[in-house]
Amino acid sequence: MQDRKRLEEAVASHAKITSLTDDLDTLFELLREGEDVAADIMRELKPYQALLGKLETAMLLSGDNDSLAAIMTIHPGAGGTESQDWAEMLMRMYLRWVERNGMTAVITDRLEGEGAGIKSVTFEVNGQNAFGMLQSEIGVHRLVRISPFDANARRHTSFASVFVYPQIDDEIKIDIKEGDLRIDTFRAGGAGGQHVNMTDSAVRITHFPTGIVVQCQNERSQFKNKDSAMKQLRAKMYEHELEKKRVESRKTEASKLEINFGSQVRNYVMAPYRMVKDLRSRLTVGDVDRVLDGDLEDLIHSWLVWRKTGKTVKESAEFPPD
């Protein structure tokens, strides 16, 4: 059903982009003929650009787990109430993003802060490509603002860390292809009856993709030895797959950064000027309120392009540098 939904969405997107392209072609043709349709063209270009951006973002999601749902955790850094309030602001931002994209979120763990904000929160994001897009948020987020908790209205800097895990199905399917196996038979050695030592009843199986080798020579029957060796192979391949998952998990854990200066991935500045700047893709957004209200599409798209190509967007000259 999930594959069917994904394919239906792809077909619908293709039909919609084709329809919008035809409409724009018609409008440009009318413009060339002298008709006053410039305003209509500008109006049609907005949804066209938005849909193209959405389709390009989907094309950039090429990782093994990018299509999966996600588990997101947020922790405030040092700073007490100020950082705890910032962590709650981030939580609201992501929940609004989830809502805007037609996904669902389930808060599984929330620890309230003392006075305001949250000490930690964990929630599931269920939807197509949730993990692929939310990977852009992994890291430390820095806020600069006039503190509402400071009676002297001084400027404060707060930090909060965001981490995202893919929701991986625990079931491991062991698919063994005949073409990946080499099965050798040989005479069993050691103590045993005359039949065991005189016939090629022992079996050795080599699995080429993993390099796993198993063998069995306990039974008189070659078929029984083969069945037993296949059971050993499945068990070892299962452990092999588990170890791969453990390695990925260790890599994910190792990518966490200290919640402090110098480790942030994005700055949110609300005083003395207003901007949001991603320090990886170098994208600058001037409307901070729009971003905090869940409009993360440009930031996510620019990060995906940076991850894929290593290229950053041109920095805006509208705002002063850091």
Domain boundary among the residues 206, 229, 251 is at 251
- For the chain, percent of residues with pLDDT exceeding 90: 30
Residue 321 has pLDDT above 50, yes or no: no
Residue 315 maps to a domain: no
**Confidence at residue 162, expressed as pLDDT on a 0 to 100 scale:** 93
Residue 299 has pLDDT above 70, yes or no: yes
Residue 319 has pLDDT above 60, yes or no: no
Q: What is the dihedral of CA 133, 139, 141, 142, to 10 degrees?
A: -150
Q: Do 95 and 145 belong together in one domain?
A: yes
Residue 100 maps to a domain: yes
Residue 98 has pLDDT above 70, yes or no: yes
pLDDT band at 95 (very low <50, low <70, confident <90, very high): very high
- Counting the structural domains of the chain, the total is 3
Note the pLDDT tens digit of each residue in 202-218: 888 899 988 888 888 77
Q: Do 164 and 268 belong together in one domain?
A: yes
pLDDT band at 190 (very low <50, low <70, confident <90, very high): low
Q: Do 90 and 163 belong together in one domain?
A: yes
Domain that holds residue 198: 178-251
Residue 321 maps to a domain: no
Residue 65 maps to a domain: no
Among 67-76, 140-149, 195-204, 233-242, the range scoring the smallest mean pLDDT is 195-204
Residue 122 maps to a domain: yes
Q: Do 216 and 273 belong together in one domain?
A: no
Residue 143, Cβ neighbours under 10 Å: how many? 27
How far is 90 from 244, CA to CA, in rounded Å? 32
Residue 140 has pLDDT above 50, yes or no: yes
Note the pLDDT tens digit of each residue in 205-256: 899 988 888 888 777 788 888 887 887 788 788 778 877 777 776 666 666 6
pLDDT band at 169 (very low <50, low <70, confident <90, very high): low
**Contact of 78 with 159, CB cutoff 8 Å:** yes
Q: Which one is predicted more confidently, 59 or 107? A: 107
Domain boundary among the residues 234, 251, 268 is at 251
Domain boundary among the residues 38, 60, 82 is at 60
Q: Do 74 and 212 belong together in one domain?
A: no
Q: Do 214 and 82 belong together in one domain?
A: no
Q: How high does pLDDT run on average in the chain?
A: 83
**Confidence at residue 198, expressed as pLDDT on a 0 to 100 scale:** 59
Q: Do 192 and 151 belong together in one domain?
A: no
Q: Do 9 and 154 belong together in one domain?
A: no
Residue 7 maps to a domain: yes
Q: Do 294 and 232 belong together in one domain?
A: no
First to last CA, the chain: 48
**Contact of 215 with 188, CB cutoff 8 Å:** no
pLDDT band at 260 (very low <50, low <70, confident <90, very high): low
CATH number of the structural domain spanning residue 90: 3.30.70.1660
Q: Do 8 and 53 belong together in one domain?
A: yes
Residue 318 maps to a domain: no
Q: Do 158 and 52 belong together in one domain?
A: no
How far is 278 from 265, CA to CA, in rounded Å? 6
How far is 309 from 281, CA to CA, in rounded Å? 11
How far is 103 from 118, CA to CA, in rounded Å? 23
Residue 54 has pLDDT above 80, yes or no: no
- For the chain, percent of residues with pLDDT exceeding 70: 86
Note the pLDDT tens digit of each residue in 4-41: 877 887 888 889 889 989 999 999 999 898 888 888 88
The listed range with the strongest mean pLDDT (45-54, 158-167, 190-199) is 158-167
**Contact of 241 with 255, CB cutoff 8 Å:** no
Q: Do 74 and 156 belong together in one domain?
A: yes
Residue 301 maps to a domain: yes
**Contact of 79 with 260, CB cutoff 8 Å:** no
